Amino acid sequence: MPDIIVEGKNKLNGKIKVQGSKNAVLPIIAASILIDGKTVINNCPDLSDVKASMKILEYLGAKCFYKNNCLIIDASNIKGCSIPEKLMREMRSSSLFLGAILSRMEMAVICSPGGCELGPRPIDLHIKALKELGAETKEQNGNISFKLNGGIIGNNIHLSFPSVGATENVIIAAALGNGTTTLNNAAKEPEIVDLANFLNKAGARIKGAGSDRVVIEGVKRLNPIEYSVCFDRIVAATYISAAAICGGDIVLNGVNIGQLSSVVSVYEEAGCLFSAKNKDLRIIAPKKLKSVSTVRSLTYPGFPTDAGPLLISSLTVAKGTSIFVENIFENRFRYIDELKRLGASIKTEGKVAVIEGVSRLCGAKCYATDLRGGAALVVAGLGAEGVTQIGKTCYIKRGYENIVKDLSSLGAKIKEA
Ligand code: UD1
């Protein structure tokens, strides 16, 4: 995969459309397994995680076709019920397929997901919830198998933590089944609302998505549909931080501003001006950012953990010292050593990062350590003097369909080589 090369210190100007959401489309692709017939997904971002999901579906017996941000899935002939280890490892979110395969095939087998770039990624909450929906489980040779006796049975479920993936797995599993499931302490992320809208359009009966109590009345059949995926709020946050670090004036098109309010309010404190009209969000950044009071990553509607690296990257050149507390993932700061290669002054201890603004960053060779950490290096490169070369860009491709094209259309000097 080619490196990304950025020549920094160019102001960003112009307007771009924000791509469809990775975190919304992945559970929607998994949920298409429940639909006996064709699913057409529009605004589907062109990402390696989407391609990996297609491989899983094809392995299970579905037919998939992708062109021009439209993914067509025909799950009529699904026969498989297991995901091989190789495909599981290709995409960390493959556990999202669990609820769908189980509900459709009455059986599902996956290998333990293990760790990832952000630390351990357990699925204990998913497993507990699926057991409460009637699954019997067995762990053997690193595999976990799930078996139903007579389909999903609705139940009252309480998540001990509002996990996004576990909430999605429960919604998907319980959409097609017997009885009503009430999910308490559910995650409230907008991507969960998108999943519920998708399933409801296909005939599911899901109420309360976006609140902490989701009620899913199981139905007998889901019908073929066409659906358009919501915008990617983390990609929007990436371009906000890109504009912020280099004094830009840009417009993001296709966004729902309400879903960005926790991000917008922090950048406002840093001195950026925002104005919104319909689905356009304009950001005008000051010449120099100001430091902000302590930011903590939280579940939605709090500040998103995925936007943390992007914020930290732009704060490296702010006037003053800022503090970021990472509350969701254990091992999210690996990219910080790479930011330091550009001259950033950041100290970390446990889940706390102290960012002391420096007068300038200097371009350097660095490596993406994970998806958003990689994007944070691109942002830092835009704000640095000289040339920054970012390697291991395969991580960045997992979540951005066109980061180089988007930023160069805004006037950045950025290329792949
Ligand atoms: C999703 C997003 C990811 C985002 C995260 C938090 C997708 C594809 N990914 O990930 O980009 O960073 O939400 O907003 O949508 N946990 C457990 N046991 C479980 C499940 C989760 O301990 O069974 C822990 C995780 O290790 C993590 C925390 O809960 O520390 C949050 O995880 P979760 O909300 O499930 O995130 P994901 O769905 O994996």
Residues 276-291 have pLDDT tens digits of 999 999 999 999 999 9
Mean pLDDT of 9-34: 97
Closest ligand 1 atom to Cα of 126: 23
Mean pLDDT of 318-325: 98
CA 252 to each of CA 211, 236, 388: distance values in angstroms, whole numbers, following the listed order: 27, 7, 25
What band does 115 get if pLDDT is binned at 50, 70 and 90? Answer: low
Partners of 91 in the beta sheet?
none
**Residue 328 Cβ contacting ligand 1 at under 6 Å:** yes
Nearest CA to ligand 1 atom 29: 163
d(CA 380, CA 339): 7
pLDDT > 90? residue 69: yes
pLDDT > 90? residue 40: yes
d(CA 265, CA 276): 13
Nearest CA to ligand 1 atom 26: 121
Closest ligand 1 atom to Cα of 24: 15
Closest ligand 1 atom to Cα of 122: 18
**Residue 159 Cβ contacting ligand 1 at under 6 Å:** no
Nearest CA to ligand 1 atom 12: 306
What count of other Cβ atoms lies within 10 Å of the Cβ of residue 293? Answer: 8
- Ligand 1 centroid–CA 302 distance in Å is 15
Closest ligand 1 atom to Cα of 119: 26
pLDDT > 60? residue 369: yes
pLDDT value, residue 122 = 86
Model pTM greater than 0.85? yes
Containing H/E element for 282? strand 280-284
3-class SS at 335? helix
- Ligand 1 centroid–CA 160 distance in Å is 13
**Residue 125 Cβ contacting ligand 1 at under 6 Å:** yes
What band does 297 get if pLDDT is binned at 50, 70 and 90? Answer: very high
**Residue 246 Cβ contacting ligand 1 at under 6 Å:** no
pLDDT value, residue 140 = 86
State the chain's mean pLDDT as an integer. Answer: 95
Rg, Å, the chain Cα set: 21
pLDDT-wise least confident of 47-56, 83-92, 146-155, 329-338: 83-92
Q: Which of 44, 111, 116, 362 is catalytic?
A: 116
What band does 331 get if pLDDT is binned at 50, 70 and 90? Answer: confident
- Ligand 1 centroid–CA 165 distance in Å is 6
Length of the chain: 417
Partners of 183 in the beta sheet?
157, 214
- Ligand 1 centroid–CA 299 distance in Å is 10
